Amino acid sequence: MPMPFAISPDEFEGIVTDELDALPDDMVDGLDNVVFLVEDRHETEDLLGIYEGVAITDRGQYGFGELPDRIVVFREAHLERCSTMDELHDEVHTTLVHEIAHFYGIDDDELHRLGWA
């Protein structure tokens, strides 16, 4: 599918960083052992982002030496869905909130109810 406008991987990473920086402190301050990554697209599914890890509500014996959880934002999926820079920023913002919510143990049904899906 052709993308409405071209954004280099570096430019897209800058947008993700800007939107991450714009999130409320109380949302990001609790993130423990989480890395944010940008990839072109998910291997098998058409996703905007994905949280890979153990939600804070399920960690139990989680401790020292654990590999970091990952929040991945997929560049090409965003570019295919957005036709303006404002739309792109909004969609990246929503994706970050959605995936961070999974870290806090909020499932897709609740995210849909709250309008973050």
Other Cβ atoms less than 10 A from the Cβ of 22: the count is 11
CA within 13 Å, CB half, 93: 13
Query: Which residues share a beta bridge with 72?
Result: 37, 50
Q: What is residue 102's three-state secondary structure?
A: helix
> What's the token pair of residue 4?
């409405």
List per-residue pLDDT tens for the chain, 117 residues long.
555 678 999 999 999 999 999 999 999 998 988 999 999 999 999 999 999 998 888 877 666 677 889 999 999 999 999 999 999 999 999 999 999 999 999 999 998 898 877
- pTM given for the model: 0.90
Residue 56: C-alpha distances to residues 26, 31, 103 (Å) = 15, 9, 6
78 contacts 69 by C-beta, under 8 angstroms: no
Q: If you ran DSSP here, which 8-state letter would residue 57 be given?
A: G
- Residue in this structure with the two tokens 């800007």, named with its chain if needed: 18
pLDDT of residue 63: 62
